[in-house]
Amino acid sequence: MKTQNLGRATGFTILLFLACSCVQKGDSIPETSDTAAENPGSTAPPTVAKADTILIRQMKFNPQELHVNKGATVIFVNKDVVAHDVTSKDKKTYSDTIKVNQSWTWVANDSMSYYCSIHPTMLGKVLINP
């Protein structure tokens, strides 16, 4: 009996690990339709807003220039080997230090030119679509 429970626990642990390893913090989330709200009998997933992602890798923001709609969620994901931050040129918007494999989320209500204050040669822009 204990062997069966141990086998189930191990199987569950492996399944949980595989499920968690497929999605990482900061990954772009695909948009889905909200058919569940329109049709209560449906098993379709609810609508999830799309997040725009800027990867920090090899001492660069990628993409260096991102065009988004006003109110878009932008996630900065640090995939570099050192910590970084995001600081707007006017210094009104800034993140805490973003450690390796961590992220910072910002809602783009205005365009922003930014840099990493730890590595000031790293530059980027988020531009609001007209």
Count of domains forming the chain? 2
Q: Is the pLDDT of residue 90 over 80?
A: yes
Q: What is the model's pTM? A: 0.64
Residue 46 domain-assigned (yes or no): no
pLDDT digits (tens, 9 = 90+) for 19-45: 333 334 444 433 333 333 334 454 545
Structural domain boundaries, residue 121: 51-128
Same domain as 12, residue 70: no
Question: Tell me, what's the pLDDT at 51?
Answer: 86
Residue 43 domain-assigned (yes or no): no
Q: Is the pLDDT of residue 84 over 60?
A: yes
114, with CB counted inside 10 A (0-12, 13-18, 19+), is buried
| Euclidean distance between CA atoms 91 and 76, whole angstroms | 17
Same domain as 123, residue 91: yes
| Torsion angle of C-alpha atoms 113, 51, 79, 98, degrees rounded to 10 | 60
Percent of the chain having pLDDT more than 90? 61
96: domain CATH number is: 2.60.40.420
Q: Is the pLDDT of residue 53 over 70?
A: yes
Residue 113 domain-assigned (yes or no): yes
Same domain as 63, residue 124: yes
Q: How confident is the model at residue 12 (pLDDT cuts 50, 70, 90)?
A: very low
Q: Is the pLDDT of residue 121 over 90?
A: yes
| 74, β-bridge pairs | 52, 106
